[in-house]
Structure 1
């Protein structure tokens, strides 16, 4: 039985969902001649500027973002080359910023920061140069500060629990297991915890 609503003509189709054709990507519209290469390039430029206004990105991240928006490589690559030339895309500067903020603000070790740089598409040479800002002493100082904060948070708990939690947190921030254990041992001793029976890391 078909229900007919007041004011609805028979067979009018009111109330039925209309299927919409999938929206064409920029690449498809370009191939079909609906837009010119210049129009596609201008749209990609506007999209790039919006992305960069919100946050700094690596060239790889920008390339992926534009690809998701449907822009073809023939438009994206020359545009990114131009942005690179004028300094709007700067992987070296971006990598340096990541190293400084992750180490200085979060206390991350080189290993964890290196993994993030890889995820963001920073090439190995650029990443290595950026990571050279952090030496072994810098890493140890940052790790010691973290270890101190971590053991303070677990005061009153069983010592082995304190050790396990603090070492695990440092490991997740990129510190090698041996260094993490040593830093936690020192922090616990400074906090008045008995540590003479704890083994020293090799």
Structure 2
């Protein structure tokens, strides 16, 4: 049997070990310091008070409760009217007496007229008369003026605290690569021929 020469190759791969330390990162952010102030609005209110007027002079006059000045005015006016009426009556009666010869009983008639008073009149009515009290009302006025104030905001931003530790990778060879070469039946003897 013939033996064929052979080359045998045997390889061992390289084995690498990695030692990895992860990087560490820390970020700390403190909240901002914030202060907000809101001033009150400026409010101005102007009020004109309402006005109520009650005029009861007509009702008082209806009940014959007149003021002194009103009574004096009325008495003066009535005296003047009575004086004018008396002058007119006397003039007329003087004329009648001057013409007494024309007949009639002028003297007796004048005596009867001068002695008789005015007839009394009676009337039914409401005292005081309806709507004799006058009411007047002027409503109040309110003026409101508001001025808004802007808020005062103060914000302080805090810096970020950042720490970073780098990671590292250590490489180590666990097994070296190797290549073994063997030759088999390289030298055949003459017997095989």
- State the structure with bigger RCO (CA 8 A, min sep 6), 1 or 2: 2
Establish whether TM, by shorter chain, passes 0.5. Answer: no
TM-score normalized with structure 1 length: 0.21
- Structure ID, larger Rg: 2
Greater helix content: 1
Greater strand content: 2
